[in-house]
Structure 1
Amino acid sequence: MTIAIAPIDPVGRAFFAGVVSGIDLRKPPTAAEVAAVHDGMDEFGVLVFHDQDIDDEQQLAFSRALGPLETATGDIAAPHERRVSMDLNDISNLDKNNKVVARDDRRRLFGLGNQLWHSDSSFKPVPAKYSILSARTIPPTGGNTEFADMRAAYDALDEATRREVHDLVCVHSQIFSRGILGFTDFTEEERAKWAPVRQRLVRRHPRTGRLSLYLSSHAGGIEGWPVPEARAFLRDLTEHATQRRFVYAHVWRPHDLVMWDNRVTMHRARRYDHTAVRDMRRTTLTNEVSSLDQAP
């Protein structure tokens, strides 16, 4: 098979989100396939692989072929509560016994933060590069994932706003993003683990050279700005960046695998019946260096 990547919406959004064919992720990728995936990510920002019935080890093998992984330290489950290894993020509504968690379960309430527009691991000093999400079991309805193209959002800013945002530095924390939803049930250890970190508001992609906005619900302030003004400005930027013309909404099918570049996208999960099983596994490639070390 020869790998091919085509735009999902060639008329309305030819520049964002591509569907990949000609690759079987149950097998270790070849060097040519790895290069094609990187090139596709540079072009589309989001790639969709249909009909990939893989297990955890196969997902890990594909992910590691693309680059170094970060450890899954962004969720709130204690080690003894986890269903999967620390190399995988458990994006599900299941406990370690594969039972659906209660509606008021602390882990579920924390996970509702995934329904806010965000970039994975922007709350870490070294944030995420690619996220790779495998759909093992999906609910009958709902649970879509939406992606916003932050390159197009940056390009659509007026010149005065581009100048204003160019050198700004934001502070990011999961404490802030969960607080938006009223979740404040953090231990002192968790508050220390998710102490605010600094990230640039504008990033330059190291391979393509394109500039993009680096926004996230985790961003709770701008250095040197009063907090209310910073949050109002960040909200305005997020409203701008998530206009429908910049967004691709992925409707999950069983065994879909979707990957995206956190440096040039935001995403959010959509609601679904909390009593239905939704079992997703995410591997995450580290960016390797801080956004502060990549001058725009």
Structure 2
Amino acid sequence: MTIDIQPIDPVNRAFFAGVVSGLDLTQPLSPEQVAAVHAGMDEFGVLVFHDQKINDEQQLVFSRSLGPLEQATGDIAAPEERRVSMDLNDISNLDKNNRVLARDDRRRLFGLGNQLWHSDSSFKEIPAKYSLLSARHIPPTGGNTEFADMRAAYDTLDEATKREVHDLICLHSQIFSRGILGFTDFTDAEREKWAPVRQRLVRKHPATGRLSLYLASHAGGIEGWPVPEARAFLRDLTEHATQRQFVYAHVWQPHDLVMWDNRVTMHRARRYDYAEVRDMRRTTLTNEVSSLQQAP
């Protein structure tokens, strides 16, 4: 079967978000198929695979065929509370007994940070490359995921702003992003774990050479700048980057798998009824090198 990737919105956004046909992710990929997926990611930044009825192990096999995985150390659940292995991120509103978390459960409140624009694992010194999210059970309404093309966001900056952002280093931490929502219930160990890390504000894609903004709600400062000025500037950049012409909104269908390149996108989850089940599993490929090593 031949792999085909077509733009989801060929009229308004032919350069961003493609839908893939001709792949069965329950089966191991050939080297040619792996190369085609990488090429599709380089072109579109976001790929959608419909009707992929995969289990955790099949998702892991597919993900590992694309590169090394990072461990799921970015959530707030204690080890004894986890539903899945450390190779998977539990993107759900369920406890280990598959019961919906209470509205005021600390794990749920922390997870609301996913509704802010962000790039996965930008709060780690070695951030994420690809994220792969599999929809196992979705609510009847709401819960969409939006993706912003950070290449287009960079391209449309005026020349003075491009010069200004070129060499800036930002400080990223989940302490900051959750603080935006008023979540400050962190232990001393968590505050130490999520101490700010340094990331470039402009990155160069190693395969395509394209430049992109590297923004996230985790970014709470710019080296050498007063904090209020840095946060105001980062907010302005985020508003620019998330204009609707740069955004693809994915309406989930059962058994969709969506993967995206965190180096060239931001994303956010949208609200849904907290009492409805939303069960998803995310595997995440490590970028292997710091953003500091991907200078423009």
Partner of 2:199, secondary structure, is strand
Structure 1 distance, partners of 2:267, 2:28, is: 28
Partner in structure 1 of residue 34 of structure 2: 34
| Partner of residue 203, structure 2 | 203
- After superposition, the C-alpha distances for 1:45-81 in whole angstroms (9 at most, x for unaligned) are 0000000000000000000000000000000000000
Q: What residue in structure 2 maps to residue 13 of structure 1?
A: 13
**Partner residue, 1:50:** 50
Give the partner amino acid of 1:280: M
Superposed, 1:1-296 pairs within 5 Å as 1-296=1-296
> How far did residue 274 of structure 1 move?
0.3
Residue 198 of structure 1 and its aligned partner are, at CA, apart by 0.1
Partners of 2:275 and 2:2 in 1: how far apart?
41
Instruction: Letter of the 2:14 partner, please give it.
Output: A
**TM-score (normalised: structure 2):** 1.00
Give the superposed CA RMSD. Answer: 0.3
Q: C-alpha distance in 1, partners of 2:196/2:69? A: 22
Task: Give the AA of the match of 2:205.
Answer: H
How big is the shift at 1:223?
0.1
Give the counterpart letter for 2:62 in structure 1.
F
- Per the normalisation by structure 1, the TM-score is 1.00
Post-superposition offset of 1:16 = 0.1
Aligned-partner SS, 1:36:
helix
- Consecutive unaligned residues in structure 1, runs of 5 or more: none
Specify the SS of the correspondent of 2:274: coil
Q: CA deviation at 1:258?
A: 0.0
Measure how far apart 1:295 and its partner are. Answer: 1.4
Q: Distance in 2 between matches of 1:153 and 1:130?
A: 19
Q: Show CA shifts across 1:67-126 (max 9, x none).
A: 000000000000000000000000000000000000000000000000000000000000
Give 1:293 deviation, angstroms: 1.2
Number of residue-to-residue matches in the alignment: 296
- In structure 1, the residue corresponding to 2:132 is in which secondary structure? strand
Unaligned runs of 5+ in 2: none
Q: Equivalent pairs: percent with the same residue?
A: 86
CA–CA distance in 1 between the matches of 2:265 and 2:294? Answer: 17
